[in-house]
Amino acid sequence: MTSKDTSVRVLLVLPMYGGSLPVGRYCARALTRLGHVVETFEAPEFHQSFEALRRMRVSRERLQYLENSFLNVISQAIMAKVEAFCPDLVLCLAQAPMSIQTLKRLRRDGVATAMWFVEDYRLFTYWMAFAPHYDFFAIIQEDPFFDELEAVGQSNALYLPLAADPEFHCPMDLSSVDRRMWGSDLSFMGAGYPNRRVAFRRLVNRDFKIWGTEWDGDPALEALVQMNGRRLSSEECVKIFNATRINLNLHSSVDSTSLVSNGDFVNPRTFELAACGAFQLVDERALMADLFWSDELATFRSIPEMEEMIDHFLAHPEEREEYARRGRERVLADHTYDRRMQTLLDFVAARREGWPARRGGEEFFAEYPPELRDKVLALLDRLGLPAQTSFDDLVWTLRQQQGTLSDVETAILFLDEWRKQYGGKRA
């Protein structure tokens, strides 16, 4: 297991867009809170250029060639970041623009790689090509996915359900203006999958607001879709969760004939709503019983049952409050990104001998005079870094900070520049 006194360097590779993008940002925050040194590869900065390629009037074959070439350039940029940052672990989120060639090179160079595949493996099948080239593969589903990963050569798979960030997903005191704007008896925040479109047509005569994208082309729901169906920020989602009396949480399905899919994985909205202390009605999932007790989430197994529960809980606000309170307590205890990232790092450490490699922090700081050593230790504590942090990791963290430098921070950065100029020994 990774010790709380061990600082790990993590290069976190984000996708250019999509649902796993905010998950990646929550992971970065969690790893930083845990005292690790985190560098984020901002793939979203390349998204506009990637979309520009798709708007070109060229043949399908030429477009595919250009897209592949563009993704190869991004992979080379990731490799350049690896060479500059020297991470202990490269952690990729689902849809991260990482090529198989780059993964092979990282394995050859001894750099540990992991992906958190926060998608439905039955629907998004690109994992078949990529999973064997990652050293570790975290998933939000269980069997038979484990068996299928084993069949393609990935034996270091870890069940890692989604989570919430309590510093971000939390109760809010909203103004009356915000409550009118973001609130309603019922709301749903998410994309317009076929099962949701059909199910929500039964609710058009209620005080119901639909938020999110991909709802166009449905006249029955058009009046319910807010803000012209634009993509909402994570901050706006938290306001909606807090302002709504009953947040509907119907997991997605491309099958419009089966409105409640009875699937396995639990979506991030379940954890985020609970962390906000918001009440939700959520369809039952096969893996949900391992994550929440029955009195922590109000669940339904059919759309008629959902409608009955809407009527009941609108009439009983005290019951809504109890579910919300218990659900929030469970998330804070067991389902935070801090816990997920610690679980992942412990899994890597258990299966990779000698990981992470020591960087010599203890020996370097031992050479400091007592007064300066105390100041450095106080600085490490303020930055949330463990006492055994290496000099290089401390320098890297300081360079990510903003604002005026203290005397000890200035001295450390000056010493780093002196060592670079005069060939001093690296810690």
Number of domains in the chain: 3
pLDDT at 159: 98
Looking at 351, 382, 413, the residue that finishes a domain is 351
Same domain assignment for residues 209 and 245: yes
Antiparallel, parallel or unpaired: β 9-13 and 208-211: unpaired
Same domain assignment for residues 16 and 120: yes
Evaluate whether residue 2 is within a structural domain: no
106 CB-side CA count, 13 A: 30
**SS3 category, 165:** coil
Taking the C-alpha atoms of residue 292 and residue 275, their distance in angstroms, rounded to an integer, is: 13
Same domain assignment for residues 108 and 229: no
Evaluate whether residue 427 is within a structural domain: no
Same domain assignment for residues 344 and 374: no
Evaluate whether residue 125 is within a structural domain: yes
Phi then psi for residue 107, to 5 deg, are -65, -40
Evaluate whether residue 45 is within a structural domain: yes
Taking the C-alpha atoms of residue 237 and residue 73, their distance in angstroms, rounded to an integer, is: 34
Checking 301-310 for CB contacts under 8 A at 24+ apart, the result is 301/260, 301/262, 302/259, 302/260, 303/199, 303/202, 303/259, 303/260, 306/199, 306/248, 306/250, 306/281, 307/202, 307/203, 309/281, 310/186, 310/203, 310/206, 310/246, 310/281
CATH number (domain holding residue 116): 3.40.50.2000
Evaluate whether residue 171 is within a structural domain: no
Evaluate whether residue 97 is within a structural domain: yes
**SS3 category, 400:** helix
Same domain assignment for residues 180 and 323: yes
Same domain assignment for residues 80 and 129: yes
pLDDT by residue for the chain (427 residues), tens only, comes to: 565 557 899 999 999 998 899 999 999 999 999 999 999 999 999 999 999 998 998 999 999 999 999 999 999 999 999 999 999 999 999 999 999 999 999 999 999 999 999 999 999 999 999 999 999 999 999 999 999 999 999 999 999 999 999 999 999 999 999 999 999 999 999 999 999 999 999 999 999 999 999 999 999 999 999 999 999 999 999 999 999 999 999 999 988 888 998 899 999 999 999 999 999 999 999 999 999 999 999 999 999 999 999 999 999 999 999 999 999 999 999 999 999 999 999 999 999 999 998 765 555 556 666 767 777 778 877 777 776 677 777 777 887 777 788 878 787 887 777 776 766 544 4
Buried b (16+ CB within 10 A) or exposed e, 206-245: bebbbbbeebeebeebeebbbeebeebeeebbbbbbbbbb
Taking the C-alpha atoms of residue 357 and residue 70, their distance in angstroms, rounded to an integer, is: 34
Could you tell me the end-to-end alpha-carbon distance of the chain, in angstroms, rounded to an integer?
24
pLDDT at 5: 58
Taking each helix axis as running N to C, give the angle between helix 268-275 and helix 234-243, from 0 to 180 degrees, rounded to the nearest 10.
Answer: 60
Evaluate whether residue 285 is within a structural domain: yes
**Domain hosting residue 49, numbered range:** 9-163+336-351
C-beta separation of 82 from 106 below 8 A: yes
Same domain assignment for residues 255 and 309: yes
For residue 219, the 8-state DSSP code is T
Taking the C-alpha atoms of residue 83 and residue 401, their distance in angstroms, rounded to an integer, is: 21
Same domain assignment for residues 313 and 240: yes
The partner residues of 93 in beta bridges, in order of sequence, read 116
pLDDT at 75: 94
Question: Could you read off the pLDDT of 84-140 as tens digits, one per residue?
Answer: 999 999 999 999 999 999 999 999 999 999 999 999 999 999 999 999 999 999 999
pLDDT at 127: 97
| Amino acid letter for position 375 | K
Instruction: Report residue 378 CA to chain centroid gap.
Output: 31
C-beta separation of 93 from 116 below 8 A: yes
Please, is 97 exposed, middle or buried when counting C-beta atoms within 10 Å of its C-beta (0-12, 13-18, 19+)? Answer: buried
This prediction's pTM: 0.85
pLDDT at 425: 46
Same domain assignment for residues 292 and 181: yes
Instruction: Residue 269: name the closest of 287, 284, 248, 289 by CA.
Output: 248
C-beta separation of 378 from 70 below 8 A: no
